[in-house]
Amino acid sequence: NAGVTQTPKFQVLKTGQSMTLQCAQDMNHEYMSWYRQDPGMGLRLIHYSVGAGITDQGEVPNGYNVSRSTTEDFPLRLLSAAPSQTSVYFCASSGVGANEETQYFGPGTRLLVL
Amino acid sequence: EDQVTQSPEALRLQEGESSSLNCSYTVSGLRGLFWYRQDPGKGPEFLFTLYSAGEEKEKERLKATLTKKESFLHITAPKPEDSATYLCAVQRNSGGSNYKLTFGKGTLLTVNP
């Protein structure tokens, strides 16, 4: 199992550009989520999904869109990048139900918006 | 609002010097408390899940404990390879489909040889 994979590892954008951060998991997990990590702050939830076709907003959703067309993939879209979106982005996945909800994280995507 | 406070922010130990990291939490109905290890430039790596007060779990030199207000990560005879940032997170028992984790800011542990 590859676990949770993310691409790209690193990206530089100019303000106003758009891009998609890719996330995939091969553990057949129903729950997937996106977090951002900024210096001096804990990881914060952006969006999450409990299955294909179902998504919802987390704590800091503004400026980001998500969709979930398959169980395996959960891409995060930045429609018009802003310097405030410079951060490290982590995708995580887990099962649902008792004792299956440990979230496993990907290696992260480091995004710099100029 | 769920809150997680970790202390100390940074801890420097000599190899073999045991210590504990603290995670204090406020959550309306705890579903689970999670400990992760994060190395520089990497994603969080799962260590433990604790579900109820009094529960303890061990893995090599690490032992996690849980009370109704806090969790401790005890590190016994640490080695330099234990150097990392340790993250604590709580999951609320919301009864819905949001399995959101609320994270603390982490404790940066450095173990000197």
- The per-residue pLDDT for A40 is 85
For the record, the structure tokens of A112 come out as 């710099």
- The per-residue pLDDT for B28 is 86
Q: pLDDT, tens digit, for every residue of A37-72?
A: 999 888 999 999 999 999 999 999 999 999 999 999
Residues of chain B with pLDDT under 50: none
- The per-residue pLDDT for B74 is 98
| Banded pLDDT at A97 (limits 50, 70, 90) | confident
Report the residue of chain A nearest B88, measured CA to CA: A42
| Banded pLDDT at A77 (limits 50, 70, 90) | very high
Q: pLDDT, tens digit, for every residue of B11-33?
A: 999 999 999 999 999 998 898 99
Report whether pLDDT(A73) > 80.
yes
Q: How many CB pairs under 8 A join A and B?
A: 61
A94 and B91 Cβ atoms separated by less than 8 Å? no
**Alpha-carbon distance B25 to A22, whole Å?**
32
**Alpha-carbon distance B110 to B75, whole Å?**
12
Q: Which of B1, B98, B102, B108 to mutate to test the interface with A (most CBs of A within 10 A)?
A: B98
- Tell me if A56 and B98 make a contact (CB, 8 A cut-off): yes
Report whether pLDDT(A19) > 80.
yes
